[in-house]
Amino acid sequence: MRNSSKDKLRLSPSALNVFLDCQRCFWLEYGAGVHRPRGPFPSLPSGMDILIKKYFDSYRAVGKLPPEIERQVSGYLFSDTELLNKWRSWRSGLSYYDRDLGAVLVGAIDDCLVENERYIPIDYKTRGFDLADGGESFYQNQMNCYSFLLDTNGMKQPSYAYLAYFIPREIKKGADVRFSVHVKKLNTFPEDALNTFRKAVKLLRSPIPSHDDSCQFCTWNSKGVNNQGVKTKS
């Protein structure tokens, strides 16, 4: 995600994931527009995401939970589909503007449960296989950000979130694929999201971090960009 105006930086949870993964890669991508090499974007998870949203919306419309998750979560689906559809887009998603930094954190949530007037983010994940124990920690920053964004937009949240994994189990005649749905509850730390966001913005306004010689991407990177982050090859 690049700046939407010349002085307002916009970062998403996935941008912060890059920051947490490697500060130099983050600086290069969000400060200099130099991306890591990447393959074709898999379209299956995006297609599934659209279908799952429609499926959840059909239950939202009648005030029920989808049967696949009703024994795995508590609360009810956030009922305002129109507002939720705004939150689902990073252009109009939940945002936090930090005046001191002149930067915005924006997140696009998939869905939201409500219980005791608390708002609980839920994210759909399509996976090929069962998740190893503890694998949900990969999404910690993303869900921290969603809890933080709900809080700062006036919706109290209970410092946990749900990850709903859709895993294919079998295929039947007519290419009818059956999925199982596993929901994992993840404790969230909204203050960590704010700290990460602030550190990331400060890093972008600092000189480029140095190379890591042990990283194969860095070897590739060093051939095209000098230590000031200026492209040396087109």
Identity of the residue, 17 or 152, whose beta carbon is nearer to ligand SF4 in the bound complex: 17
Min CB(102)–ligand SF4 separation in Å = 25
Identity of the residue, 8 or 205, whose beta carbon is nearer to ligand SF4 in the bound complex: 205
Identity of the residue, 135 or 224, whose beta carbon is nearer to ligand SF4 in the bound complex: 224
Q: Which residue has the tokens 């009818």?
A: 176
Min CB(84)–ligand SF4 separation in Å = 35
**Sheet containing 160-172, strands listed edge to edge, beginning at the edge strand earlier in sequence:** 76-77, 111-115, 118-126, 160-172, 176-187
How far is residue 185's CA from residue 7's CA, in Å, rounded to a whole number?
A: 38
Identity of the residue, 102 or 207, whose beta carbon is nearer to ligand SF4 in the bound complex: 207
Min CB(209)–ligand SF4 separation in Å = 8
Min CB(114)–ligand SF4 separation in Å = 39
Contacting residues toward ligand SF4, per CB under 6 A:
22, 24-25, 211-212, 215, 217-218, 221
Identity of the residue, 57 or 212, whose beta carbon is nearer to ligand SF4 in the bound complex: 212
Min CB(34)–ligand SF4 separation in Å = 10
Identity of the residue, 170 or 213, whose beta carbon is nearer to ligand SF4 in the bound complex: 213
Q: Is residue 167 within 8 Å of 128, Cβ to Cβ?
A: yes
Min CB(18)–ligand SF4 separation in Å = 9
